Amino acid sequence: MTDPLRLGIAGLGTVGTGVVKIVRQKASLLAARAGRPITISAISARTRDKDRGVTLSDYAWEDDPVALATRDDVDVFVELMGGSDGPAKAATEAAIAAGKDVVTANKAMLAHHGQALAIAAENAGRVLRFEAAVAGGIPVIKALTEGLAGNEITRVMGVMNGTCNYILTRMQSAGLPYDTVFDEAAQLGYLEADPTLDVGGIDAGHKLSLLASIAFGTQVDFDAVDLEGIEKVTIADISHAADMDYRIKLLGVARMTGRGLEQRMSPCLVPADSPLGQLEGGTNMVVLEGDMVEQIVLRGPGAGEGPTASAVMGDVMDIARGCRVSTFGQPAKGLQKAQSALGATPAPYYLRMALEDKPGALAKVAAVLGEAGISIDRMRQYRHDDTTAPVLIVTHKTTRSALDAALDAMSRLDVVATEPVALRIETV
């Protein structure tokens, strides 16, 4: 096929501008690799006259992204506006209904509406691609849907929010408290307009739900993701973890258990010498485990103009070549909603608390853990200058339900001066 593949791009922020640059600057390379030219017919954004550092006058302008999505001279609608609902969803639905293929970087929209959009695309004979929605420039969607298609996936795990990884590694390297590094990240422009999307684990949770759907052949179920952000992680936790040769990461983990699908996005301790433990700054990493390949580690930039635009163009090129892959790796009509299994897999836990400096305080805490069926692997008490003593406990493997019961009982002890912090220790 020699006819050009014509794009309509809605959203001209960092990623949209990056896509325009690739199409303009690499036209010959793209045509050679795709076997046909890649062109842009029309564009849309909230502001028309903004200087975006790239020539846009060659393209038709549409104020309404829905009008852009339904133009006769658009073959692929590229949705880069963001937002789980509103114009992004309306334009995507309109594009599919008009017989267009869709490429999007919108993780929130897919996490909340991915199943319905995938079925709509199937019914229309169209494809919906979203490599750029998960882990930026890392081709993890392609790895799961194509490269590892012959595997039973046993676990998906990763650091999927570069801002959180920056904050945690900066706390580690500079010895700075969370609030200071949070403000620093804000000044550098690393945080979303709503920072809780980053530090609350929501952004990364969206990504995990999409990967879990592909990996385990289930409907996307973001509401079943157990979310915990990094707001409660202190410099003391960072330091104590380092003393035990661990690093703290906002870690997403999904696995199918005998009780159902477990999906967690929470701060965890990982071995300092593991690939995840060594991950620095804003870089992302996804670890895929399959029965045939054992463990695959994918590492790369998780955001930014170049990496995310690169992922968008990977999807565009597949469409240009005639590659038609189901949205979540298999027909959406056959996907079932998985039984949710929160905290199903036992693990050791890190516990930090402050105890009243009284005789028998540690014994009372140990008794509560024992009554919950939790044994202690290590315990450490740190020097103190006031009436409370910082105490660190590492348990043997236990279930989250048993741990929660123990934490509830601890809260009623007269010797526990602060609410205990509990972080899972993940095997890598």
Tell the burial category of 51 from Cβ atoms under 10 Å away from its Cβ (0-12, 13-18, 19+): exposed
Dist. CA 369–CA 362, nearest whole Å: 11
Dist. CA 250–CA 265, nearest whole Å: 7
Structure tokens at 236: 């003391």
Residue of 254, 204, 193, 192 lying closest to 230 (CA atoms) = 204
Q: Active-site positions?
A: 207
Structure tokens at 120: 């709509």
Residue 134 CA: distances (Å) to CA of 81, 158, 169, 259, 414? 15, 11, 21, 27, 46
**Torsion 216-221-226-229 (CA) sign:** positive
Q: How many helices (H) and strands (E) does the chain have?
A: 14, 16
Dist. CA 114–CA 237, nearest whole Å: 37
Can you list the alpha helix ranges (DSSP code H) found in 137-234?
140-142, 162-174, 178-187, 196-199, 202-216
The residue behind tokens 């380092």 is: 242
| C-alpha gyration radius of the chain | 24
Dist. CA 110–CA 328, nearest whole Å: 11
In sequence order, which residues have a C-beta less than 8 Å from that of residue 136 and are 6 or more positions away? 162, 284, 300, 301, 302, 303, 304, 307, 308, 311
Structure tokens at 379: 């315990």
In sequence order, which residues have a C-beta less than 8 Å from that of residue 107 and are 6 or more positions away? 130, 133, 134, 203, 206, 207, 210
Structure tokens at 82: 């963001």
Dist. CA 184–CA 385, nearest whole Å: 31
How far separated are the first and last CA of the chain, in Å rounded? 46
**Residue 328 C-beta-side C-alpha neighbours within 13 Å:** 30
